Protein backbone atom coordinates (compact mmCIF):
# COMPACT_ATOMS: atom_id res chain seq x y z
CA UNK A 1 0.00 0.00 0.00
CA UNK A 2 1.29 3.45 -0.89
CA UNK A 3 1.82 6.12 1.75
CA UNK A 4 -1.51 7.82 2.60
CA UNK A 5 -2.03 11.34 1.30
CA UNK A 6 -1.67 14.21 3.76
CA UNK A 7 -3.45 17.56 3.90
CA UNK A 8 -0.60 19.18 1.96
CA UNK A 9 -0.91 16.81 -1.01
CA UNK A 10 -2.14 18.50 -4.19
CA UNK A 11 -4.94 15.96 -4.64
CA UNK A 12 -6.30 16.66 -1.16
CA UNK A 13 -6.02 20.41 -1.72
CA UNK A 14 -8.08 20.01 -4.89
CA UNK A 15 -10.65 17.84 -3.09
CA UNK A 16 -11.02 20.48 -0.40
CA UNK A 17 -11.39 23.22 -3.03
CA UNK A 18 -14.10 21.30 -4.88
CA UNK A 19 -16.04 20.77 -1.68
CA UNK A 20 -15.90 24.42 -0.70
CA UNK A 21 -16.05 26.42 -3.93
CA UNK A 22 -18.91 26.50 -6.41
CA UNK A 23 -16.73 28.13 -9.05
CA UNK A 24 -14.24 25.27 -8.94
CA UNK A 25 -16.98 22.67 -9.35
CA UNK A 26 -18.53 24.62 -12.20
CA UNK A 27 -15.26 25.11 -14.08
CA UNK A 28 -14.25 21.46 -13.79
CA UNK A 29 -17.79 20.05 -14.23
CA UNK A 30 -17.35 17.75 -11.22
CA UNK A 31 -18.71 17.43 -7.69
CA UNK A 32 -17.87 15.52 -4.52
CA UNK A 33 -19.90 12.76 -2.90
CA UNK A 34 -19.30 11.57 0.65
CA UNK A 35 -19.95 8.32 2.48
CA UNK A 36 -19.91 4.67 1.36
CA UNK A 37 -23.55 4.52 0.24
CA UNK A 38 -23.34 7.49 -2.14
CA UNK A 39 -19.89 6.51 -3.41
CA UNK A 40 -21.20 3.02 -4.23
CA UNK A 41 -24.25 4.50 -5.96
CA UNK A 42 -22.06 6.83 -8.01
CA UNK A 43 -19.90 3.89 -9.10
CA UNK A 44 -22.92 1.77 -9.96
CA UNK A 45 -24.71 4.53 -11.90
CA UNK A 46 -21.91 5.96 -14.03
CA UNK A 47 -20.48 4.97 -17.37
CA UNK A 48 -16.86 4.33 -16.31
CA UNK A 49 -15.53 5.88 -19.52
CA UNK A 50 -18.18 8.47 -20.28
CA UNK A 51 -20.64 10.97 -18.91
CA UNK A 52 -20.76 11.18 -15.12
CA UNK A 53 -17.77 8.92 -14.57
CA UNK A 54 -16.22 8.63 -11.12
CA UNK A 55 -12.81 10.25 -11.40
CA UNK A 56 -11.25 9.04 -8.15
CA UNK A 57 -12.06 7.67 -4.71
CA UNK A 58 -10.44 8.90 -1.48
CA UNK A 59 -10.57 6.65 1.57
CA UNK A 60 -9.48 6.97 5.19
CA UNK A 61 -6.63 4.46 5.48
CA UNK A 62 -7.80 3.28 8.89
CA UNK A 63 -11.26 2.37 7.60
CA UNK A 64 -9.77 -0.31 5.34
CA UNK A 65 -8.76 -2.43 8.31
CA UNK A 66 -12.19 -4.03 8.59
CA UNK A 67 -14.79 -5.41 6.26
CA UNK A 68 -17.92 -3.38 5.62
CA UNK A 69 -19.49 -0.80 3.26
CA UNK A 70 -16.30 1.24 2.90
CA UNK A 71 -14.22 -1.77 1.90
CA UNK A 72 -17.00 -2.86 -0.47
CA UNK A 73 -17.06 0.53 -2.19
CA UNK A 74 -13.27 0.47 -2.55
CA UNK A 75 -13.43 -3.03 -4.03
CA UNK A 76 -16.06 -1.86 -6.52
CA UNK A 77 -13.91 1.12 -7.52
CA UNK A 78 -10.88 -1.06 -8.12
CA UNK A 79 -12.92 -3.51 -10.17
CA UNK A 80 -13.98 -0.59 -12.37
CA UNK A 81 -10.37 0.68 -12.60
CA UNK A 82 -11.23 3.88 -10.75
CA UNK A 83 -8.15 5.26 -8.94
CA UNK A 84 -8.31 4.83 -5.17
CA UNK A 85 -6.18 7.02 -2.89
CA UNK A 86 -5.71 6.32 0.80
CA UNK A 87 -5.70 9.40 3.02
CA UNK A 88 -4.67 10.11 6.59
CA UNK A 89 -7.90 10.38 8.65
CA UNK A 90 -7.38 13.97 9.78
CA UNK A 91 -6.65 15.11 6.23
CA UNK A 92 -9.82 13.57 4.82
CA UNK A 93 -11.95 14.79 7.72
CA UNK A 94 -10.73 18.36 7.26
CA UNK A 95 -11.47 18.27 3.51
CA UNK A 96 -15.11 17.21 3.59
CA UNK A 97 -18.32 19.05 4.33
CA UNK A 98 -20.04 16.88 6.90
CA UNK A 99 -19.74 17.47 10.65
CA UNK A 100 -19.73 13.72 11.26
CA UNK A 101 -16.57 12.26 9.79
CA UNK A 102 -17.03 10.34 6.51
CA UNK A 103 -14.39 7.70 5.80
CA UNK A 104 -14.72 7.79 2.01
CA UNK A 105 -15.43 10.30 -0.74
CA UNK A 106 -15.32 10.48 -4.51
CA UNK A 107 -15.01 13.07 -7.24
CA UNK A 108 -17.74 12.53 -9.84
CA UNK A 109 -18.15 14.11 -13.26
CA UNK A 110 -21.35 16.06 -13.75
CA UNK A 111 -23.59 14.69 -16.48
CA UNK A 112 -23.75 16.85 -19.59
CA UNK A 113 -27.30 18.00 -20.25
CA UNK A 114 -29.15 20.95 -21.76
CA UNK A 115 -32.79 21.95 -21.89
CA UNK A 116 -32.95 20.81 -25.52
CA UNK A 117 -31.94 17.31 -24.39
CA UNK A 118 -35.02 17.21 -22.14
CA UNK A 119 -37.28 18.02 -25.11
CA UNK A 120 -36.91 14.47 -26.39
CA UNK A 121 -37.89 12.90 -23.04
CA UNK A 122 -41.39 12.11 -21.81
CA UNK A 123 -42.87 13.57 -18.66
CA UNK A 124 -42.69 16.94 -16.94
CA UNK A 125 -39.64 18.99 -16.03
CA UNK A 126 -39.14 20.50 -12.58
CA UNK A 127 -37.75 24.05 -12.63
CA UNK A 128 -36.16 25.40 -9.43
CA UNK A 129 -35.97 29.17 -9.74
CA UNK A 130 -33.56 30.87 -7.36
CA UNK A 131 -33.95 28.48 -4.44
CA UNK A 132 -31.52 29.31 -1.64
CA UNK A 133 -31.45 26.20 0.58
CA UNK A 134 -29.25 23.29 -0.58
CA UNK A 135 -31.30 20.80 1.41
CA UNK A 136 -34.47 21.82 -0.42
CA UNK A 137 -32.76 21.60 -3.80
CA UNK A 138 -31.45 18.10 -3.09
CA UNK A 139 -34.76 16.92 -1.64
CA UNK A 140 -36.63 18.19 -4.69
CA UNK A 141 -34.20 16.47 -7.07
CA UNK A 142 -34.79 13.23 -5.16
CA UNK A 143 -38.57 13.76 -5.24
CA UNK A 144 -38.44 14.57 -8.96
CA UNK A 145 -36.75 11.26 -9.70
CA UNK A 146 -39.31 9.42 -7.58
CA UNK A 147 -42.14 11.11 -9.50
CA UNK A 148 -40.66 10.17 -12.88
CA UNK A 149 -39.80 13.59 -14.27
CA UNK A 150 -37.67 14.03 -17.37
CA UNK A 151 -35.17 16.27 -15.58
CA UNK A 152 -34.57 19.23 -13.28
CA UNK A 153 -33.65 22.75 -14.41
CA UNK A 154 -32.06 25.22 -11.98
CA UNK A 155 -32.61 28.79 -13.15
CA UNK A 156 -31.44 32.21 -12.02
CA UNK A 157 -29.07 32.85 -9.13
CA UNK A 158 -30.10 29.98 -6.90
CA UNK A 159 -28.04 27.51 -4.94
CA UNK A 160 -25.67 25.20 -6.80
CA UNK A 161 -27.22 21.71 -7.15
CA UNK A 162 -23.73 20.22 -6.71
CA UNK A 163 -23.38 21.84 -3.27
CA UNK A 164 -22.39 18.98 -0.92
CA UNK A 165 -25.54 19.41 1.18
CA UNK A 166 -27.71 19.28 -1.94
CA UNK A 167 -25.90 16.17 -3.19
CA UNK A 168 -26.49 14.41 0.13
CA UNK A 169 -30.17 15.38 0.19
CA UNK A 170 -30.61 14.13 -3.38
CA UNK A 171 -29.64 10.66 -2.11
CA UNK A 172 -28.18 9.43 -5.40
CA UNK A 173 -30.68 11.04 -7.79
CA UNK A 174 -27.94 13.39 -9.06
CA UNK A 175 -26.22 10.38 -10.65
CA UNK A 176 -29.25 9.36 -12.71
CA UNK A 177 -31.44 12.39 -13.40
CA UNK A 178 -30.46 15.16 -15.85
CA UNK A 179 -29.91 18.40 -13.91
CA UNK A 180 -29.50 21.51 -16.08
CA UNK A 181 -28.47 25.08 -15.23
CA UNK A 182 -29.86 28.09 -17.12
CA UNK A 183 -29.46 31.80 -16.43
CA UNK A 184 -32.97 32.91 -17.49
CA UNK A 185 -36.25 31.34 -16.47
CA UNK A 186 -37.63 31.96 -19.97
CA UNK A 187 -35.11 29.40 -21.29
CA UNK A 188 -36.03 26.71 -18.78
CA UNK A 189 -39.09 25.12 -20.35
CA UNK A 190 -37.94 24.18 -23.81
CA UNK A 191 -40.95 22.79 -25.69
CA UNK A 192 -42.99 22.54 -22.48
CA UNK A 193 -45.25 25.31 -21.13
CA UNK A 194 -43.93 26.99 -17.99
CA UNK A 195 -46.34 26.56 -15.09
CA UNK A 196 -45.80 28.97 -12.17
CA UNK A 197 -46.70 27.78 -8.69
CA UNK A 198 -48.10 30.67 -6.64
CA UNK A 199 -49.58 31.05 -3.16
CA UNK A 200 -52.59 33.25 -3.86
CA UNK A 201 -55.49 32.41 -6.13
CA UNK A 202 -57.05 34.73 -8.64
CA UNK A 203 -58.93 34.82 -11.93
CA UNK A 204 -56.00 33.37 -13.87
CA UNK A 205 -54.91 30.83 -11.24
CA UNK A 206 -56.22 27.25 -11.16
CA UNK A 207 -55.91 24.52 -8.56
CA UNK A 208 -52.93 22.25 -9.17
CA UNK A 209 -55.17 19.19 -9.52
CA UNK A 210 -57.29 20.94 -12.17
CA UNK A 211 -54.31 21.89 -14.34
CA UNK A 212 -52.62 19.81 -17.05
CA UNK A 213 -49.27 18.93 -15.47
CA UNK A 214 -48.50 15.75 -17.39
CA UNK A 215 -45.93 17.29 -19.73
CA UNK A 216 -45.29 20.74 -18.28
CA UNK A 217 -42.30 22.62 -16.89
CA UNK A 218 -43.37 23.09 -13.26
CA UNK A 219 -41.73 26.16 -11.70
CA UNK A 220 -41.06 26.50 -7.95
CA UNK A 221 -39.73 29.72 -6.46
CA UNK A 222 -37.53 30.88 -3.61
CA UNK A 223 -38.30 29.61 -0.10
CA UNK A 224 -38.87 33.05 1.42
CA UNK A 225 -40.31 35.05 -1.48
CA UNK A 226 -41.67 32.54 -3.99
CA UNK A 227 -41.70 33.66 -7.60
CA UNK A 228 -41.43 37.40 -8.16
CA UNK A 229 -43.70 39.24 -10.60
CA UNK A 230 -41.20 39.02 -13.45
CA UNK A 231 -40.83 35.27 -13.01
CA UNK A 232 -44.60 34.75 -12.93
CA UNK A 233 -44.95 36.91 -16.05
CA UNK A 234 -42.40 34.71 -17.84
CA UNK A 235 -44.63 31.66 -17.30
CA UNK A 236 -47.52 30.53 -19.46
CA UNK A 237 -49.94 29.54 -16.69
CA UNK A 238 -50.32 29.68 -12.90
CA UNK A 239 -51.38 27.04 -10.41
CA UNK A 240 -51.85 26.99 -6.66
CA UNK A 241 -52.27 24.30 -4.02
CA UNK A 242 -55.59 24.94 -2.31
CA UNK A 243 -55.11 24.49 1.45
CA UNK A 244 -57.85 23.35 3.80
CA UNK A 245 -56.45 24.99 6.95
CA UNK A 246 -55.29 28.50 7.86
CA UNK A 247 -51.63 27.80 6.99
CA UNK A 248 -50.49 30.45 4.50
CA UNK A 249 -48.30 28.17 2.39
CA UNK A 250 -46.29 24.96 2.27
CA UNK A 251 -42.54 24.51 2.45
CA UNK A 252 -41.22 24.49 -1.10
CA UNK A 253 -40.10 20.85 -0.86
CA UNK A 254 -43.55 19.81 0.36
CA UNK A 255 -45.28 21.86 -2.33
CA UNK A 256 -43.05 20.33 -4.97
CA UNK A 257 -43.90 16.82 -3.81
CA UNK A 258 -47.65 17.54 -3.94
CA UNK A 259 -47.49 18.94 -7.47
CA UNK A 260 -45.05 16.39 -8.89
CA UNK A 261 -47.08 13.45 -7.66
CA UNK A 262 -50.25 15.04 -9.04
CA UNK A 263 -48.42 15.12 -12.38
CA UNK A 264 -47.53 11.45 -11.93
CA UNK A 265 -51.18 10.63 -11.18
CA UNK A 266 -52.23 12.36 -14.39
CA UNK A 267 -49.74 10.35 -16.44
CA UNK A 268 -50.90 6.99 -15.14
CA UNK A 269 -53.48 5.15 -17.26
CA UNK A 270 -57.02 5.22 -15.94
CA UNK A 271 -58.06 1.96 -14.27
DSSP 156-215: SS---TTSHHHHHHHTTGGGTS-EEEES-GGGSSTTSPEEEE-SS--TTEEEGGGS--TT
- Among 56, 91, 109, identify where a domain stops: 109
pLDDT over 90 percentage in the chain = 83
CA contacts within 13 A on the Cβ side of 61? 13
| CB contact at 8 A, 95 and 12 | yes
With respect to residue 2, please indicate whether it lies within any of the assigned structural domains: no
DSSP state of 235: S
Residues of the chain whose pLDDT is less than 50? none
**Distance, CA of 181 to CA of 196 (rounded, Å):** 18
The pLDDT value given to residue 50: 66
Tell me the pTM. 0.92
Of 80, 109, 138, the domain-final residue: 109
- Contacts of 176 by beta carbon, 8 Å cutoff, 6+ apart: 45, 145
Q: Is 140 within 8 Å of 128 (Cβ atoms)?
A: yes
Q: Which domain holds residue 20?
A: 10-109
24 with 72, same domain: the answer is yes
28 and 135 co-located in one domain = no
Report the chain's mean pLDDT, rounded to a whole number: 92
Single out the residue in 91, 109, 127 at which a domain terminates: 109
User: Measured between alpha carbons, how far is 236 from 136 in angstroms, rounded to an integer?
Assistant: 25
Beta strand 205-207 with 84-87: parallel, antiparallel or unpaired?
unpaired
192-228 residue pLDDT tens:
999 999 987 677 899 999 999 999 999 999 998 899 9
Mapped onto helix, strand or coil, the DSSP state of residue 265 is helix
Cβ neighbours, 10 Å, residue 169: 21
Q: Do 25 and 128 share a domain, yes or no? A: no
- For the stretch 23-64, pLDDT in tens is 999 999 999 999 999 999 999 987 765 678 999 999 999 988
Amino acid sequence: MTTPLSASNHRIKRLRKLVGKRKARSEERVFVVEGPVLVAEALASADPHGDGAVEAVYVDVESLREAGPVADAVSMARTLDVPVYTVFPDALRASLDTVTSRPIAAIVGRRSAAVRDLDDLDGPVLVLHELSEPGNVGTLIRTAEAAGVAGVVCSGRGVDPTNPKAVRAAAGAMFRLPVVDVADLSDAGGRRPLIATVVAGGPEVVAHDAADLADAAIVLGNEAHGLDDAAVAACDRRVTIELAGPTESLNVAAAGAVILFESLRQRRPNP
